[in-house]
Each structure stands twice: as structure tokens, then as C-alpha cells.
Chains A and B, each alone.
Chain A
Amino acid sequence: MDKRMSNIISFFSLRKSLMLIIIVLGLTLLNTKWLSSLNFSLDQRSREFSESQLLLESKSEFEGREKELEAFSAFTKAEKNDSKWADVIPGLVADHRLILRQIRPGGEQRKGQFIQEELMVQVDGSIQSFLGFLHALTALEKPIYVSRYVVTARSVGTGFISAEMNIVYLNIKK
């Protein structure tokens, strides 16, 4: 038996071979776990990449919406000075000849990327006044809208109503 062969035999002794196999299998196991995490990461990344591509493809859809974006910047500018936005409401109520019965803050609520500040308002008056009030709210260059209202006829057929409203200030900045 030549020297090289005896070297090989001594190198691949049972103990060393077992140790080698255990080490190699251990490394393989670790590598398999790494591979599975890499695959997971690859899936995520490829999804993210395809979403990014789709987003970029849809970029053309947003062209020509400069005016809207200007409106948005107007909203966001207004937000800086709108810390007391609720103070506007009693004036509006009075302007539309409605009787303000109750007004109280409803707190803040996070909805996705927006934050809603609520104001509970109860008024009495005619339907036309109430409609005028709603129109005035819609026309405000502020992110204010009515999320809920309950309108009850005080006396059916007379046109006088009692309305409870949740008025929301939608905030994107926070």
C-alpha cells in the first residue's frame, strides 16, 4: 500500500469521518434554514419589485392632476392654522338660522394613514337651513365633512327637524 493511500485511510478514520459527516450535515441543515429564509426574502423582494414596477407604470395616471395636488397642498397648508377648526361651526350654524342645541368634541381616531378629529353637533331648524348648513360645510376649503347624521322630523310635514351630526376633520399630517 502506498503512502498516499495510507494517508487517505488514516484521514478517513471512522471517528474523523463521523465527525466530518456530522459537521457537514449540520452545516447543510443550517444552510437549508438560511436558504429557506433567503427564499422567503426573495419572494418578498420580488413581490415588492413587481409592485414598484406596477406603481411606476401607473405614474402616467397621475399626470394632469396638478390642480388636485394643489388643492391638497392648500389643505395641508390650512391644517397648520386649523388647530381651532371647531370654532367655525357655531358661526356656520348661526349663519344658516339653525338653533345650536349641543356641541362637544368626540376625540381623535386613527384610520389607516389618516387621523380623524370628531365634533358632535346637535341643531334644530328647517330642512332648508340644514341643507344650507351641509352645503356650507362641503364648500369649506378644509378637510371637514359629516360622517354621520340623524335627522328627525320634529313634526311630520312641517319641515322642522332636529339633527345630530358627527363632523370630522380629516388630518393627514400627523
Chain B
Amino acid sequence: MSIFRKETSKLIGVSLLSGDTLHFAILKILNGGSIQFLARKDFQVMKLTAAERKHEMHLLLAETNTKNIEFRHLVMRDRAFTKQFQFPSRNMVEIRQMLRLRLPREIPSAIDEIVYHFHQVKSESKIANIQTTVLLFGVSKDAVNHEYDILRSFGIMPNHIILTTVALSGYLRKTHDATHHLPALLLFGDRGKGEAVLFDAQGIQMSRTFSFDLTDLAHSTDQSVRPILDALDQGGDERSYSMYLAGELYKTEADWLVTRHTIHTLPQAELNPLPMDFLFMAGAETPDEECDEFNLLPEDVKGRIYTANVQKSWAALRASLVSCAVAILLVSVFFSLRTLLGVSYLNRQISILNPDVKEVKDISRKVKFLNRLRLDKIRPIDVFVRIHEQAGSEIQLNELDYNSEDKSIRLKGISISQSAIDRYVKELGGIAWFSKAELQYSESSRDAKDLQFQFAVRASLKSFD
């Protein structure tokens, strides 16, 4: 029925900062337990700009064509100090509370520059004995912030921060059936820095760091590792724990070590992974654990920090308001300057056109003057002639008032026929100088012989302006 079983896998991105180098790998953990490297790269942090960092990481993630990656960040053992606790509970909320109560007494020298994290390293579930072992490790706040800042600049944010000690012991316990050989001591070395982890079924019993010289491994480990082992051996049988070597110490043939202890081989011996890859695999294999940050400061210091935080928030708010106001001012000034540039550009263009424009305006003025003069010279006489022409024999005009200022013509006359008057008014309307002509009045009067009609007409001159 295995063909119906869904193949599940988990993708984990593991990072570790060592000096100015960010080591990063994407690993795939299949449900069978096997682990596979999908991508692996070392970034020279200081040589990359912020944009390049994001771009490089994006390319690396795009190479693997994967989404939903869980990010974990490893913290080197030499950057932290550790302390282990046992609590009679499996409830992590209770454990967290108990830890908060115990920490100030357990670590009296706690200072505000340290951030505390913890790992659950062992949980025993027995009816009578419910115990959870947690390993607390403290890291300098500056160091954590620095590492967070670097990771953020690469566009990644870790879900967990894991101490290498926890990762190594957990990995060894999981990949090698070490339960028959517990307690076990793992010696791991990478680029001259080493870590010794002693662990048993209860959790991590001891964790120390040491340094060594790769070119003179036998002599340097004799000097640095031997005192650690001597200290361990003081309490009892020197062969009471199993010995595992990993990383650069994997193939050490130091006489003092191999003759004194039985060295157990690791399952990855055939693969012979690089020390950093070993750490990556250990980081990827570490189970998800409850983790929290602890602040161990006294209440008055906390109060001061709270006040400082409040002050900081208000200062940030005020700074934001001032920045917004400045931004509005800058935008406004930008628009003003743009408009000013536009005005000055138009001024320049106008000043370039100005001589020609002046010339054209002058010509236009002269032409306008001539046109007006021509009109004013010709119109009075032409109007006079046309009005008399249209009158014919039936209309006798006795008054004609021409006024170019009012643009009006008034005329009075007599006729023996009303129809002749009407026709005359109609014909006046057809004269091109007039916009309209209308009869104002027409009244009959009888003289000695005949019936006569007196009339008045008003016409409007067309405007030629």
C-alpha cells in the first residue's frame, strides 16, 4: 500500500554567520529521514550591497524553485553562555513562567545587554516523573541584533535561533543510535574552533569550547581538549562515556586521544561532509521547539527601559510627524520649483519671440488703423448714396441721421403708398452695411390734395471690428 502513502518532505534553510561570511544552505528532509542539500552558498557580506544581497539570495532561492521554506539560524557556541534547568512540567507556558522566576536567582549577573533563549532538550513523560529539561543560552543583544540585521538585509527572517551545541547533540542522538553508548561526548571542530558536548538521556551535561591548530592537530588538541577531558574524568571512570569526532577533528589521530578512548564512527563517515555541512545538517535535523526570549532586568531597570521605550515611541511619532511635514514641504517646493522653471522657460521663449511679435503687432496695428479709416471714410457716403438709390420716386426722404458711434441710421420721409414704404424698408434691410432695418412708425396724413404716409426707419450698422 506504499504507493498510496503521500511522500512528504520539509524544506529548511539554515544560516550561520562566521566573521563576515554568511553560510547558507537549503536542505530537504524526506519523510524517510534522509537529508539532501538543494543549495549551498557562502556570502561575503561586506562585499555585497544591500540590493546585491537580496538579489543573490533571491537567485539562490529561485534556483531551488521552492517555497514555504522554514529558516533557522545557528548561533556558534563560543558566542553564548549556557545553563540547563529541569522543571516538573511539560507545559511550556508553565515552564516559561518558572524560568522567569528562577532566572534572576540563577544568573545574578544578568545584564541588559544579553538576550536569553532556551531550548527544550529533553522531555520525560512518566506517570510519576514528568520532567522537562531546557537549555538556556544567553547571547549579546548587540550580536543578535547584528546577525538579525544581516539576515534581514538578505531578505530572510529565521523562525528559530538554535545554539550549535543543541543542534550537534540532537543530531547525533537522532542519526546515530547512541542510546546504547550514553552518555556520549562529541568533539566538533571547524576552522580552528572546537566544541565539546557531553550529553545523556537527560540532556546536555556539559558544553565547552576550545581552539586547535589544524596543521598540528595532535599537539594542539592535547593542549586544549585534554584539560576538558581530564576535568570530566576526575569524577569517575574515564571510559564512562562514548566518544564521537566530527568536523575537522573527524580524522584526528592524536595518540593521547585514540589510545585513551574508543572512538565511535558516525553514520556520515562515508560521506565525509565538510564541517559547515555537518552543522547545516544538524541545524536542519533539530526538532521544532518552544523558544522564547527572556528579560532578566530588575523592575526599576525594566521601568526605565519602558519609559525609554515610551520616550522612543513618542520621539519616533514626533520624528514621523516632522518628517511628514518636511516631506509635504519638499513636495510643495518641488512643485513650486517645477512651475518656476516652467515660467522661466516660457519667459525665455516669449523673449525670443518678442521682436517678431512686436513687428507683427505693429503691422497689425497699422493694418487695423487703415482698415478702420477706409471703412470710416467710405461708409458715410456709400450709406447716403444707397439710401437715396433705394428710395426711388415713391419715397421722399426729409431727414437722414447717420451715426457711426452709435452704429445707427435714422431716416424720416413721406410716401403716397404704404406698400412702397414697406418695400423700401425691406430693401434697406438688404444693404450690406446694415445688420437690420425696421420701420419705427408709419402714419397717414391728408394734405390739400392726397393721402400721404409719414414714416420713420431705424437701421443698425454692421460691426466690422
Contacts and interface: CB of A to CB of B under 8 A. Distances in A.
Interface string A29-53: 0011011001101100110110011
A75 B442 CA distance: 45
Interface string B321-337: 11001101100110110
A168 B326 contact: no
A28 B325 contact: yes
Interface string A1-40: 1000100110011100100110011011001101100110
B381 A138 contact: yes
Interface string B368-390: 01101100111011001100100
A114 B363 CA distance: 15
Nearest to A147: B404
A1 B360 CA distance: 74
B319 to A, nearest CB: 5
A152 interface: yes
Contact of A9 (B311, B333, B367, B401): B311
A48 B312 CA distance: 55
Interface residues of A, number: 63
Contact of A148 (B325, B396, B404): B404
Interface residues of B, number: 59
B357 to A, nearest CB: 5
A4 to B, nearest CB: 12
Contacts of B335: 35
A62 B346 contact: no
A59 B329 CA distance: 46
B67 to A, nearest CB: 37
Nearest to B340: A38
A1 B315 CA distance: 13
Contacts of B250: none
Contact of A134 (B312, B381, B400): B381
A62 B399 contact: no
A8 B353 CA distance: 55
A8 B315 contact: yes
Given A17-B318, A59-B356, A59-B360, A145 B380 contact: yes
B319 A49 contact: no
B9 interface: no
A50 B44 CA distance: 60
A94 B398 CA distance: 24
A101 to B, nearest CB: 17
B350 A49 contact: yes
A156 B376 contact: no
Contacts of B326: 24
Interface in B391-413: 396-405
Given A53-B353, A55-B364, A148-B403, A42 B342 contact: yes
Nearest to B406: A148
B331 to A, nearest CB: 9
B308 interface: yes
A158 B363 CA distance: 48
Contacts of B319: 8, 12, 17
B346 A69 contact: no
A23 to B, nearest CB: 9
B349 interface: yes
B366 interface: yes
Most chain A CB atoms below 10 A, which of B325, B333, B349: B325
B362 to A, nearest CB: 10
Contacts of A146: 380-381, 402
B377 A156 contact: no
B440 interface: no
B376 A56 contact: no
B265 interface: no
A65 B367 contact: yes
A148 B365 contact: no
A152 B413 CA distance: 10
B136 interface: no
B343 interface: yes
Contact of B398 (A17, A34, A153): A153
A131 interface: yes
Given A9-B311, A49-B350, A148-B404, 16 more contacts: A1-B312, A21-B322, A24-B322, A28-B328, A31-B336, A32-B332, A53-B353, A55-B360, A71-B370, A145-B373, A145-B376, A148-B405, A150-B402, A153-B399, A170-B376, A172-B365
Considering the complex of A and B, which 4 residue pairs feature the smallest CB-CB distances, nearest first?
Answer: A17-B318, A145-B376, A45-B346, A24-B325
Interface of A: 1, 5, 8-9, 12-14, 17, 20-21, 24-25, 27-28, 31-32, 34-35, 38-39, 41-42, 45-46, 48-49, 52-53, 55-56, 58-59, 62, 65, 68-69, 71-72, 75, 113-114, 127, 131, 134-135, 137-138, 143-153, 156-157, 168, 170, 172
20 contacts: A9-B315, A12-B319, A12-B322, A24-B325, A24-B326, A25-B325, A32-B332, A35-B335, A52-B353, A62-B360, A62-B363, A68-B367, A72-B370, A127-B388, A137-B377, A146-B381, A148-B403, A150-B401, A157-B396, A170-B373
